[in-house]
Amino acid sequence: MTITKKPNGKYKVRVYVGYDHLTGKQSYKSATVATMKEAKLKEAQLSVKVGTGELVPTWEQDKPREHYTFDMAYEEWFEVYRQQDLKQATIDRVEYYFNHYLLKPDLFGGLYFERMTVLDIQKRVNKFIPTLVASKSILSYAKQIFKYAMASEHIQCDKNYLDLVRMVKPKKAMKREYRYYTETQAVRFEQGINEYFKDDYKYLVVFTLLLRTGIRVGELTGLRWENIDFGHSIALLNGRMSRLISGTYQYEDGLKNGDDSRVIELDRVTLNVLRRFKLQQQEISMLLGAGFNESNYIVDVKRTAIDDMRKKFLKWYNLNHDEKLPMLNLHGLRHTHASLLISNGVEMKQVSDRLGHRNILTTANIYADVTPKARREVAEMFSKIMESH
């Protein structure tokens, strides 16, 4: 403790506060007064504050807690999220969810974590969930922001509010009247595409592959000629075309379920259609004076164009045939492929493997309405066995 007289006649009081063992810095508290009497009094007051712990070094003082918003936590979280080994389509989709829903004022946009209450979050969630089919999936990303905020030491957030609220029912997905074709309808569909696309072989390839292999549209449009092994009658699926939020398409390695690849068997009809189309492509390349490249996409066409052609074909078919075909969507051809296999006794595990489902339960849940027919046939088969003796 020191008291010194300054050139202007006033007195400076300097009191030792503490020592930082990490940095070696010493901390002092200073004050300037008019007289020596005031200086001694100030010295005594500061000494008492140091002794009682009221006056502590700056490094030991509690730092003021910052106002921290959901938006700020998202910015920090997303910066890390986007650097992970994720598909660009996934990153774009998550960013879209935040910008169009989660960061809006009606949900969490601008909210201070320390001012949030379970009741307030419950009200916001209750309004949002019934508006979208995917609302609960979107909220799962908000839950990650709460979790991140809880792990950040510089904010006031000690609970994950989305773990405490009750989830109301989301908006129901529109139930399609027809999810897949019957055997008879599938045969009519194939006969129809052979008639309608006789002069546009590209789309005959598209719809033949979708019907006879059950692959996803993105897997189809990501197929290259080098993926087809005509000698072993197989196709290697190791990538797909993904639609970005911007509306553009981008090829991505790997499959939707996270696998790097899968191999599927091709039947004779599919192989013949592919052979004929490949021959056409090779002839066109020769006429143009260009070599045929095995790395070319088999069908260089966007999903939107395929869907438009599906609508045109079904409209034409129903105008020109007495027996109508339901207006099935593109994914319905995948459902058709699986349902016909299951209905005709193919084991669920084999169907699951062909579709590229990582879990057989996924296949079983999707096609639960198909299995009763197979179950009945099994019962009838057992009855015939018993009657034959």
Contact present, 83 and 129 (Cβ < 8 Å)? no
Q: Which amino acid belongs to residue 147?
A: K
Answer whether 27's CB lies under 8 Å from 20's CB.
yes
**Same domain, yes or no, for 285 and 250?**
yes
d(CA 364, CA 296): 36
pLDDT at 147 over 70: yes
CA distance 55 to 49: 5
Reply yes or no on whether the pLDDT at 347 is more than 90. Answer: no
Q: How far is CA 76 from CA 82, 106, 163, 171, in A?
A: 11, 21, 21, 31
Residue 372 lies in a domain: yes
Query: Which stretch of 27-36, 267-276, 295-304, 360-369 has the lowest confidence by average pLDDT?
Result: 360-369
Question: Helix (H, G, I), strand (E, B), or coil: what is residue 3?
Answer: strand
In a domain, 172, yes or no: no
Among 164, 194, 210, give the residue marking a domain's end.
164
Q: Are residues 294 and 364 in the same domain?
A: yes
Exposed e or buried b per residue across 280-291, where buried means at least 16 C-beta atoms within 10 angstroms of its C-beta: ebeeeeeeeeee
pLDDT single digits (tens) 67-81? 788 999 999 999 999
Determine, yes or no, domain membership for 102: yes
Statement to judge: residues 47 and 83 lie in one domain: no
175-205 residue pLDDT tens: 667 788 989 999 999 999 999 999 889 999 9
Confidence of residue 371 (pLDDT cuts 50, 70, 90): low
Judgement on whether residues 340 and 251 belong to the same structural domain of the protein: yes
Residue of higher predicted confidence among 173 and 168:
168
The answer as to whether 245 is a domain residue is yes
Rounded Cα–Cα distance for residues 219 and 240 (Å): 4
User: Residue 207's pLDDT is what?
Assistant: 96
Whether 251 and 370 share a structural domain: yes
Shared domain check, 291 and 231 = yes
- Residue 155, pLDDT > 80, answer no
Last residue within a domain, chosen from 60, 78, 105? 60
Counting the structural domains of the chain, the total is: 3
d(CA 303, CA 312): 14
120 in a structural domain: yes
Both 20 and 44 in one domain: the answer is yes
Residue 33 token pair: 């007064």
Show the CA angle centred on residue 338, arms to residues 376 and 334, nearest 5°.
145
Among residues 17, 92, 10, which one has the least CA distance to residue 54? Answer: 17
Per-residue pLDDT band for 382 (boundaries 50, 70, 90) equals low
Q: How far apart are CA 372 and CA 376, in angstroms?
A: 6
Q: Could you give phi then psi for residue 234, rounded to 5 degrees?
A: -135, 160
pLDDT number for residue 116: 84
**Residue 105, amino acid:** P
For residue 23, the enclosing domain spans: 2-60
Within a domain: 40: yes
pLDDT band at 58 (very low <50, low <70, confident <90, very high): low
In a domain, 110, yes or no: yes
Give the CATH number of the domain where residue 343 resides: 1.10.443.10
* Inter-residue long-range contacts of 192-200, CB under 8 Å, 24+ positions, other chains counted: 192/313, 192/317, 192/321, 192/325, 193/313, 196/313, 196/316, 196/317, 197/313
Residue 59 has pLDDT above 60, yes or no: no
- pLDDT (tens digit per residue) in 201-257: 999 999 999 999 999 999 999 999 999 999 999 999 999 988 776 677 888 888 887
112 is a domain residue: yes
Cβ pair 296, 202 in contact under 8 A: no
The domain boundary, picked from 164, 192, 210, lies at 164
Instruction: Tell whether 12 and 75 lie within a shared domain.
Output: no
